[in-house]
Amino acid sequence: MLAYILRRLLYALPILIGVNLITFALFFVVNSPDDMARMQLGVKRVTPEAIQKWKAERGYDKPLVWNSAAAGAAQATDTIFFQKSLRMFSFDFGRAEDGRDIAREIKSRMAPSLAVAVPTFILGLFVTISFALLLVFFRATYLDFAGVVFCVAMMSISGLFYIIGGQWLVSKVWHLVPISGYAPGLDGAKFLILPVIISVIAGIGASTRMYRTIFLEEVGREYVRTARALGLSELAVLFRHVLRNALIPILTGVVVVIPTLFMGSLVIESFFGIPGLGSYTIDAIRAQDFAVVRAMVFIGSLLYIVGLLLTDLSYTWVDPRVRLE
């Protein structure tokens, strides 16, 4: 087991290096630091000195990959690639445009993101799986058909509509919860209820339909017929047999997103003013803060790779036939 995990981690390394190369190419090769400086300082009327100063402040005045002016190891280390890209492997992301340390900022913003994402994830999973099981219980009836139509309609509505409509109805008309904001600890509950409920509602359509398809496929299997032939009630068949056997395809989609919950949701956080990583990213995108976007890309892919590993491990937990060698 341990050997397997170690090997998988080693496999992950080339992928991370690949991600690193892609971001490096995107941020430094497609556009030279000069272009970015001109963009940040305003395209017109910008002096070469101002560009030099902007680059020096951010450490972009070094050569891209090879510094022939330096001596010894510094030829490879005193470059943009080493300083800005390879340093990320040690979680050193440098500073944002406002001068703050990105790594520290990320650490302090994880909690608000998780406060929204974890309840959303658990509640969403519970609601959609129960709903899908309900539809499967009533399969091939008008109730099932109505449920599917409902799901397709829910899927077809833009997520922005749920947010804008929910904020308007619950906060502006009913005055039940504050429209946006955040507070740590239990005080924050009143801020979190609405974003969590809205995210769950926005996800109901697509997930329920997917789980329903998975369950329907299992229901057609022979072991289900055997279970019924043995006289088990339909509910017992669904919960004890179908649900357990459908766990593998469900886990494939679910476990991989668990680590990425840290990243938060860009849209939800920015609409509800939650100071998490999602709103950090969106602020960086709007302010064209390239260092922050680069750091978030790196962390996002790292978490995704961890998610893939967890998915494999979770298979051994739900399916005793799977052995990791």
Partner 1 sequence: MTELQIVLLWSDGLFFLLIGVALAGGLWARRHEHLCASWRRVGQSPIGMAAATVLLVFLLVGLLDSLHYRAPLPAQDGKPTGHAVEVTSALDALLSGIRSRTEKTYSAPLATHLFAKESLENDQGRDFPRLRHGGSHLADQLDGHEADIVLTTLQGLGLGLVIWLPAAGLLLLARRRSPQLAWNAVSVTLLAVALLAGPALLLSQGYHVLGTDKVGQDVLYLTLKSIRTGLLIGTLTTLIMLPAAVVLGIVAGYLGGWVDDLIQYLYTTLNSIPGVLLIAASVLMMQVVIDTHPQWFATAAERADARLLALCAILGITSWTSLCRLLRGETLKLRELDYVQAARAFGVSQWRIMARHILPNVMHIVMITIVMEFSSLVLAEAVLSYLDIGVDPNTVSFGTMINNARLELARDPMVWWSLAAAFSFMLVLVLAANLFADVVRDAFDPRVAK
Contacts with partner 1, residue ranges (CB under 8 A): 14-15, 18-19, 22-23, 26-27, 30-31, 35-36, 38-39, 43, 152-153, 155-161, 164, 167-168, 172, 260, 263, 266-267, 270, 281-282, 285-286, 288, 290, 293-294, 296-297, 300-301, 304-305, 308
Residue whose CB is less far from partner 1, 64 or 76: 64
The CB-of-155 to partner 1 minimum distance in angstroms stands at 6
CB–CB of 192/273 below 8 Å? no
CB of 56 to partner 1, least distance (A): 20
What's the CA gap between 279 and 269, in Å, rounded?
A: 5
273's tokens: 């003013």
Inter-residue contact 324 to 316 (CB < 8 Å): yes
Residue placing its CB nearer to partner 1 in the complex, 113 or 301: 301
C-beta of residue 251 within 8 angstroms of C-beta of residue 318: yes
- CB nearer to partner 1: pick between 133 and 309: 309
Nearer to partner 1, 90 or 158 (CB): 158
Task: Report in angstroms how near the CB of residue 308 gets to partner 1 at its nearest.
Answer: 8
Question: Is the Cα torsion angle 122, 124, 127, 133 positive or negative in sign?
Answer: negative
Six-digit token pair at 242?
């179908």
CA distance 124 to 74: 51
Backbone angles phi, psi at 101, to 5 degrees: -75, 125
**Helix ranges (DSSP H) in 138-221:** 142-156, 159-166, 189-219
Cβ pair 121, 268 in contact under 8 A: no
> What is the closest distance, in whole angstroms, from the C-beta atom of residue 89 to partner 1 in the complex?
15
Q: Which is nearer to partner 1, 249 or 300 (CB)?
A: 300
Nearest approach, Cβ of residue 162 and partner 1 (Å): 10
* Identity of the residue, 27 or 82, whose beta carbon is nearer to partner 1 in the bound complex: 27
- Nearest CB to partner 1, comparing residues 243 and 256: 256
Compute CA 56 distance to the chain's CA centroid, rounded to the nearest angstrom: 34
Cβ closer to partner 1: 67 or 191? 191
Rounded least distance, CB 161 to partner 1, Å = 5
Q: Which is nearer to partner 1, 106 or 263 (CB)?
A: 263
Own/partner pairs, 20-29, CB within 8 angstroms, 24+ separation: 20/85, 20/86, 20/88, 20/89, 20/298, 21/85, 23/85, 23/294, 23/297, 23/298, 24/81, 24/84, 24/85, 27/290, 27/294, 28/64, 28/80, 28/81, 28/84, 29/64
Q: Give the C-alpha separation, 69 to 75, whole Å.
A: 7
CB of 27 to partner 1, least distance (A): 7
The minimum distance between CB 190 and partner 1, in angstroms, equals 20
Long-range contacts of 144-147 (CB under 8 A, 24+ apart): 147/208, 147/212
Minimum separation from the CB atom of position 72 to partner 1 (A): 32
